[in-house]
């Protein structure tokens, strides 16, 4: 934990050195001692300390300084650190001014120069001041702080990114906490820069204005560039299938890289509670599963590039070459595609404009806490919608699940239906679909089409969370691997038609079970045609694929 600061300012560098020396020798174990020989730069340093979220316990200023008196400095410093104790260093001739300052300018104490011996003339009084300060001191948050507004899509994207990458941060909603004095002070210190939301403040005092995930990723040490340009195995997609392949591949000696566009964990990472994964009788959150898997993969030496997107794949002889979104390339002998599926977009007027500003696809884990006391809508009738409703019900006043059919039994697992029925603040609105969403800069109302009455009802809504099925996004692989008409990748026996191997297939064998029509390119998990869309099956396919990859590599 960073030590609180004792800050002194004196234009006479000899006096400054002396006071710093005495402060350090008595209080150095518990406090950091910082000084400045000019009040102007002293104020700049205080502003910097504010951005870093440091705590200042004491402001000590010489009364006689050119351009700014000690009293003026302390008053300005007090606007930045109002809780810091304030003391003046004065010459005998300034005693009168110092007493007036105590009476009229909120100064706590004054010390006469010289303060020799400090054991009598400095420390006892400072001890009192610092004891007093400590009594109400609450250590400040020391990690990353994100300043933004709840209804800004960019703030949402950033928070979602940090949460899914397990980067701890403190969220400061500058609108919601506009009357909080500490937020006001921080915004004042930032000055005109405060308009460039979202802002990320780092504990080292640096800041990113109008920040985007890629910039923050670099700053927090997430790796987006490969260390070498060739790997035995490259995996595209860091969901359960990709992570499993990474763990098995690397643990069996393959030099492995995994490329993930958003955050390791994939769809599973968005699940608030996975209850059917073997070995976790009380369930576990997708975030927890992802975090454990990432640690496991890293322990075996897997290189994880995230956030980083694969945009193209080509083959050159036995090399499979992946082009990444930043223009760099990674080559490998075996390539595994585990890119899963992405949420289907809801087609309703007004929806695109409000995405991230009340309209969310998927779990919206970062939003759950903000829904306290609100009525929220979950669209969809499958397990993912049910899990989300159960999670939101912990925070929201009421959760309404909109389903097209006449209930959940055809689409949701019975265990979830039972949980929902036992949760009094979840309501199921059947025969209902979203016809339109309304709002300028944030969602305000939704129009719901009721198919049983053929009427449209318009209701107030601050947030809707959409879970209406998912499709693979594999267009970038078109022309390389064979896909079905919905974009799922064909593998193994699905490629054999009328006993014929796929067109252009060269090896003297059929494609392996999880291999595509390009030898050495494999596909696993939700993106694969005919796969079972479950965490366990993705994990199973990812680990099994490694066996085929070994067989393939033994002949390359």
Task: Give the whole-angstrom CA distance, residue 287 versus residue 266.
Answer: 10
- For position 382 contacting ligand FAD by CB under 6 A, the verdict is no
Q: Nearest distance from residue 468's CB to ligand FAD, in Å?
A: 11
Task: Give the whole-angstrom CA distance, residue 232 versus residue 299.
Answer: 18
**CB burial class (10 A; 0-12, 13-18, 19+) of residue 223?**
middle
- For position 525 contacting ligand FAD by CB under 6 A, the verdict is yes
Output phi, psi for 231, to 5 deg. Answer: -135, 155
- For position 285 contacting ligand FAD by CB under 6 A, the verdict is no
Closer by beta carbon to ligand FAD, 32 or else 320: 320
- For position 340 contacting ligand FAD by CB under 6 A, the verdict is yes
Would you tell me the crossing angle of helices 286-299 and 153-164 to the nearest 10 degrees? 50
Task: Give the whole-angstrom CA distance, residue 225 versus residue 388.
Answer: 34
- For position 387 contacting ligand FAD by CB under 6 A, the verdict is yes
Enumerate the β-bridge partners of residue 62. 89
Half-sphere exposure of 253 (CA within 13 A, CB side): 3
- For position 95 contacting ligand FAD by CB under 6 A, the verdict is no
Closer by beta carbon to ligand FAD, 339 or else 366: 339
Task: Give the whole-angstrom CA distance, residue 227 versus residue 140.
Answer: 37
- For position 322 contacting ligand FAD by CB under 6 A, the verdict is no
Q: How far is CA 395 from CA 158, 237, 373, 375, in A?
A: 22, 32, 7, 10
- For position 386 contacting ligand FAD by CB under 6 A, the verdict is no
Q: Contact, 71 vs 60, CB < 8 A?
A: no
Residues 6+ apart with CB under 8 A from 554: none
- For position 309 contacting ligand FAD by CB under 6 A, the verdict is yes
- For position 287 contacting ligand FAD by CB under 6 A, the verdict is no
Closer by beta carbon to ligand FAD, 153 or else 487: 487
Among the residue ranges 86-94, 140-148, 258-266, 432-440, the one whose residues contact ligand FAD (CB under 6 A): 258-266
Among the residue ranges 45-53, 75-83, 274-282, 509-517, the one whose residues contact ligand FAD (CB under 6 A): 274-282
Q: Which of 152, 271, 285, 462 binds ligand FAD (CB under 6 A)?
A: 271
- For position 364 contacting ligand FAD by CB under 6 A, the verdict is no
Q: Nearest distance from residue 375's CB to ligand FAD, in Å?
A: 21
- For position 77 contacting ligand FAD by CB under 6 A, the verdict is no
Q: Which helix (H) or strand (E) holds 366?
A: helix 365-368
Supply the DSSP symbol for 84.
S
- For position 289 contacting ligand FAD by CB under 6 A, the verdict is no
- For position 538 contacting ligand FAD by CB under 6 A, the verdict is yes
Residues 6+ apart with CB under 8 A from 282: none
Q: Nearest distance from residue 300's CB to ligand FAD, in Å?
A: 18
Q: Which of 35, 77, 148, 237 binds ligand FAD (CB under 6 A)?
A: 237
Residues of the chain by 3-state class (helix, strand, coil), percent to 5: 35, 25, 40
Residues 154-213 that bind ligand FAD (CB under 6 A): none
Task: Give the whole-angstrom CA distance, residue 367 versus residue 392.
Answer: 9
Positions in the binding site for ligand FAD (CB under 6 A):
236-242, 259-262, 266-268, 270-271, 274-276, 309-310, 338-341, 362-363, 383-384, 387, 525-526, 533-536, 538
């Amino acid at each position: 934990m960073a030590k609180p600061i004792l800050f002194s300012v004196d234009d006479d560098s000899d006096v400054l050195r002396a006071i710093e020396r005495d402060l350090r020798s008595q209080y150095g174990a518990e406090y950091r001692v910082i000084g400045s020989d000019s009040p102007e730069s002293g104020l700049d340093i205080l502003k910097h300390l504010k951005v870093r979220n440091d705590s200042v316990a004491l402001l000590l200023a010489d009364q006689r300084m050119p351009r700014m008196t000690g009293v003026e400095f302390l008053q300005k410093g007090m606007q930045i650190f109002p809780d810091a104790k304030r003391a003046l260093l004065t010459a005998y001739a300034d005693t009168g001014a110092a007493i007036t300052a105590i009476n009229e300018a909120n100064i706590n104490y004054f010390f006469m120069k010289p303060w020799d011996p400090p054991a009598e003339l400095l420390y006892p009084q400072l001890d009192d001041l610092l004891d007093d300060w400590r009594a109400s001191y609450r250590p400040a948050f020391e990690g990353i702080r994100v300043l933004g507004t709840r209804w800004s899509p960019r703030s949402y994207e950033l928070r979602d990114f940090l949460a899914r990458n397990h980067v701890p941060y403190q969220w400061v909603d500058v609108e919601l906490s506009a009357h909080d004095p500490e937020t006001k002070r921080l915004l004042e210190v930032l000055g005109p820069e405060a308009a460039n939301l979202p802002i990320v403040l780092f504990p080292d005092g640096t800041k990113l204005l109008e920040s985007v995930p890629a910039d923050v990723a670099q700053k927090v040490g997430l790796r987006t560039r490969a260390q070498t340009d060739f790997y035995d195995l490259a995996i595209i997609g860091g969901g359960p299938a990709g992570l499993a392949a990474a763990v098995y591949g690397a643990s069996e000696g393959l030099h492995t890289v995994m490329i993930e566009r958003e955050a390791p964990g994939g769809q599973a990472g968005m699940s608030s509670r996975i209850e059917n994964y073997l070995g976790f009788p009380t369930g576990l959150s997708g975030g927890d599963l992802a975090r454990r898997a990432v640690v496991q993969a890293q322990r075996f030496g897997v290189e994880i590039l995230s956030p980083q997107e694969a945009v193209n794949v080509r083959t050159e002889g036995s090399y499979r070459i992946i082009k990444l979104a930043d223009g760099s390339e990674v080559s490998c002998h075996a390539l595994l595609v585990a890119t899963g599926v992405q949420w289907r977009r809801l087609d309703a007027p007004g929806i695109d404009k409000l995405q991230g500003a009340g309209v969310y696809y998927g779990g919206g884990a970062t939003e759950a806490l903000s829904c306290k006391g609100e009525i929220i809508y979950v669209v969809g009738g499958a397990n993912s919608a049910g899990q989300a409703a159960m999670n939101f019900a912990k925070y929201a006043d009421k959760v309404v699940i909109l389903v097209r059919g006449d209930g959940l039994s055809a689409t949701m697992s019975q265990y979830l239906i039972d949980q929902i029925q036992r949760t009094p603040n979840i309501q199921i609105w059947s025969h209902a679909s979203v016809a339109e969403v309304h709002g300028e800069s944030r969602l305000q109302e939704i129009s719901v089409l009721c198919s049983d009455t053929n009427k449209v009802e318009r209701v107030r809504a601050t947030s809707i969370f959409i879970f209406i099925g998912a499709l693979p996004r594999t267009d970038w692989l078109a022309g390389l691997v064979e896909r079905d008409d919905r974009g799922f990748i064909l593998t193994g026996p699905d490629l054999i038609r009328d006993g014929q191997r796929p067109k252009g297939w060269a090896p003297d064998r059929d494609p392996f079970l999880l291999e595509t029509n390009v030898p050495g390119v494999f596909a696993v998990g939700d993106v694969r045609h005919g796969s079972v869309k479950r965490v366990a099956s993705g994990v199973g396919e990812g680990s099994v694929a490694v066996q085929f990859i070994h067989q393939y590599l033994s002949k390359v």
